């Protein structure tokens, strides 16, 4: 996807997206690359400090480095989700049969325009703690998704 597709025009409405980011394959390198890409291709509003956390599910792998990012984008939700998957691919993500296995990069939408989209926020500290830090720093809050 060309990066120009992510640049907003003067009258383009921007969406705010809260992203959970994680890596356990050369995590410092892949975090730096992800921050660089997302900071260049989106408007990076805020980010949490990175924390190391033990793996969940498949335990025979290195700990993960996790954080949260708040970005603005002119893309619609589905297009932005596809963009994040493309960023994962650009950073060497290989998808295999073990969904809980090691990865170079994992980028998940936790909230879209302040609406909570991912219930793992309530289930996992590695999501909740960085997200809460970004919320506190920016003065934002989340509302639960309406079904």
**106 included as an active-site residue:** yes
66 in a domain, yes or no? yes
Report which of residues 147 and 27 the model is more confident about. 27
Q: How much is the CA Rg of the chain, to the nearest whole Å?
A: 15
**93 included as an active-site residue:** yes
**90 included as an active-site residue:** no
21 in a domain, yes or no? yes
Residues 6+ apart with CB under 8 A from 123: none
Dihedral sign for Cα 53, 58, 60, 61, please: negative
pLDDT for residue 12: 74
pLDDT for residue 5: 45
42 in a domain, yes or no? yes
Global pTM reads 0.89
3 in a domain, yes or no? no
**CA distance to 78, 80, 86, 108, 146, per residue, from 121 (Å):** 20, 20, 23, 11, 16
**Active-site hit among 108, 128, 132, 140:** 108
109 in a domain, yes or no? yes
Q: What is the CATH number of the domain that holds 136?
A: 3.30.70.560
Specify the residue for token string 């390198």: 29
pLDDT in tens, 36-95: 999 999 999 999 999 999 998 877 889 999 999 999 999 999 999 999 999 999 999 998
2 in a domain, yes or no? no
Task: Report how far residue 142's alpha carbon sits from residue 16's, in angstroms, rounded to the nearest whole number.
Answer: 12
46 in a domain, yes or no? yes
**63 included as an active-site residue:** no
Question: Domains in the chain: how many in total?
Answer: 1
**Residue 5 DSSP symbol:** G
Q: By residue range, what is the domain housing residue 42?
A: 12-144
4 in a domain, yes or no? no
Specify the residue for token string 């970005």: 71
């Amino acid at each position: 996807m060309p990066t120009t597709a992510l640049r907003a025009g003067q009258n383009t409405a921007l969406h705010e997206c809260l992203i959970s980011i994680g890596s356990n394959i050369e995590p410092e390198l892949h975090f730096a690359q992800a921050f660089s890409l997302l900071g260049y291709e989106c408007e990076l509003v805020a980010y949490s400090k990175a924390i190391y956390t033990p793996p969940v599910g498949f335990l025979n792998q290195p700990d993960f480095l996790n954080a949260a990012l708040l970005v603005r984008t002119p893309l619609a939700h589905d297009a932005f989700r596809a963009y994040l998957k493309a960023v994962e691919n650009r950073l060497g993500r290989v998808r295999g049969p073990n969904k809980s296995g090691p990865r170079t990069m994992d980028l998940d939408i936790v909230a879209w325009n302040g609406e909570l989209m991912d219930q793992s926020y309530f289930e996992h500290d590695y999501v909740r703690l960085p997200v809460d830090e970004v919320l506190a720093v920016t003065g934002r809050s989340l509302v639960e998704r309406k079904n």
